[in-house]
């Protein structure tokens, strides 16, 4: 209950900050404008729109999570306001859990708003491209199929941001905003590049040090390519909810839980006075 109270206060703070509205406006503007952009893909513009749309939503939600975690955890600790909250019957673990859930609520709201706009854009983009190509009026069933394909991608994007949010909360207990942003964005890109690095350095294609570092990154960092919906979009296949999204949820829960446990350890002996 105490963590939930902190979560609600954190969520309100996340939604009220200017970054929330700025990121929301930029993402909505891009999702609308890119409907009418020609990608020169010979009738496959809808796939590019889906791919860029999912990437845009995930990235702006990630920025919101990083900015909120820094402002509500790191700055409260540095500004000595956290000690006032912890002087009440609230322990440090409840503080961390409440902050994490509150950030997630703010991120979820952004995903819901941008996801609804994106699904509407996919619906319209499919019929718009058919009209532009002289193919007549799109069938409603085909439009629904196009929207169904991006829904698992939105869920995977939220799970990906959840993993990075948990890491960001852990880092925020010790490091300031700028360092947190740099480290988490680096983890974001390395998490996507790790499978490529491991593949490129195996079978004697690189020296032992490079191969060791690639495997070390693969062991320590989250495998964010697991949440990437681009391969399914490029082939036009539907990501199965039970066969893929649910296992991804399990992976997200395990990694985020481990990151929060690490946050407990970092924050347990942090001097707040």
What single string gives the DSSP state of each residue in 94-151? HHHHHHHHHHHHHHHHHHHHHHHHHHHHHHHHHHHHHHHTT--PPPHHHHHHHHHHHH
Over 90: is that where the pLDDT of 215 sits?
A: no
Q: Assess if residue 136 is contained within a domain.
A: yes
Q: Assess if residue 46 is contained within a domain.
A: yes
Going by pLDDT thresholds of 50, 70 and 90, the confidence category of residue 86 is low
pLDDT at residue 40, as a whole number: 64
Task: Give the pLDDT mean for 90-116.
Answer: 92
Cα three-residue angle 163-251-196, rounded to 5 degrees? 80
CA 1 to chain CA centroid, Å, is 26
Range in 95-109, 206-220, 223-237 with the lowest mean pLDDT: 206-220
d(CA 16, CA 9): 11
Over 70: is that where the pLDDT of 200 sits?
A: yes
Over 70: is that where the pLDDT of 231 sits?
A: yes
Highest mean pLDDT among 217-221, 226-230, 269-273: 226-230
Show the tokens assigned to 270: 């942090």
pLDDT at residue 205, as a whole number: 56
**Residue 271 φ/ψ, nearest 5 degrees:** -80, 120
Q: Assess if residue 74 is contained within a domain.
A: yes
CB distance 264 to 93 below 8 Å: yes
Q: Assess if residue 204 is contained within a domain.
A: yes
Over 70: is that where the pLDDT of 105 sits?
A: yes
pLDDT at residue 85, as a whole number: 62
Mean pLDDT across the chain, nearest whole number?
86
Share of the chain above pLDDT 70, in %: 88
Over 60: is that where the pLDDT of 27 sits?
A: yes
Going by pLDDT thresholds of 50, 70 and 90, the confidence category of residue 59 is very high
pLDDT at residue 84, as a whole number: 63
Domain count, the chain: 1
Burial 116-138 (b: 16+ CB within 10 A, else e): ebbbebbbebbbbbbeeeeeeeb
CB distance 36 to 134 below 8 Å: no
pLDDT at residue 61, as a whole number: 95
Q: Assess if residue 273 is contained within a domain.
A: no
pLDDT at residue 134, as a whole number: 62
pLDDT at residue 28, as a whole number: 96
What are the CA-CA distances from residue 82 to residues 12, 14, 72, 173 (Å)?
17, 17, 9, 11
Q: Assess if residue 108 is contained within a domain.
A: yes
Going by pLDDT thresholds of 50, 70 and 90, the confidence category of residue 99 is very high
d(CA 174, CA 217): 22
Going by pLDDT thresholds of 50, 70 and 90, the confidence category of residue 135 is low
d(CA 235, CA 267): 45
Q: pLDDT, tens digit, for every residue of 240-266?
A: 999 999 999 999 999 999 999 999 998
d(CA 174, CA 171): 6
Q: Assess if residue 197 is contained within a domain.
A: yes
Task: Give the residue numbers spanning the domain of 258.
Answer: 2-268
155 or 233, which is more confident?
Answer: 155
Q: Assess if residue 195 is contained within a domain.
A: yes
pLDDT at residue 272, as a whole number: 66
85 or 14, which is more confident?
Answer: 14
Task: Give the pLDDT mean for 106-114.
Answer: 96
């Amino acid at each position: 209950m105490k963590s939930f109270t902190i979560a609600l206060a954190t969520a309100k703070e996340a939604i009220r900050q200017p970054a929330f509205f700025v990121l929301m406006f930029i993402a909505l503007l891009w999702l609308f404008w890119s409907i009418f952009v020609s990608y020169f893909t010979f009738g496959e513009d809808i796939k590019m729109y889906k791919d860029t749309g999912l990437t845009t939503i995930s990235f702006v939600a990630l920025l919101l999570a990083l900015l909120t975690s820094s402002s509500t955890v790191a700055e409260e600790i540095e500004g000595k306001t956290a000690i006032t909250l912890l002087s009440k019957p609230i322990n440090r673990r409840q503080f961390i859990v409440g902050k994490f859930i509150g950030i997630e609520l703010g991120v979820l709201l952004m995903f819901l708003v941008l996801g609804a706009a994106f699904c509407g854009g996919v619906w319209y983009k499919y019929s718009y491209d058919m009209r532009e190509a002289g193919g007549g009026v799109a069938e409603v069933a085909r439009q629904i199929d196009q929207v169904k394909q991006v829904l698992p991608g939105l869920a995977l994007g939220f799970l990906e941001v959840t993993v990075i949010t948990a890491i960001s909360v852990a880092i925020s207990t010790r490091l300031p905003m700028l360092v947190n942003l740099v480290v988490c964005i680096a983890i974001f890109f390395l998490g996507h590049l790790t499978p490529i690095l491991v593949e490129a350095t195996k079978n004697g294609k690189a020296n032992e040090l490079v191969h060791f570092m690639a495997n070390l990154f693969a062991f320590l960092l989250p495998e964010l390519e697991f949440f990437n919906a681009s391969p399914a979009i490029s082939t036009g296949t539907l990501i199965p909810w039970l066969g893929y999204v649910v296992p991804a949820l399990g992976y997200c829960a395990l990694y985020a839980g481990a990151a929060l446990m690490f946050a407990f350890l970092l924050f347990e002996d942090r001097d707040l006075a």
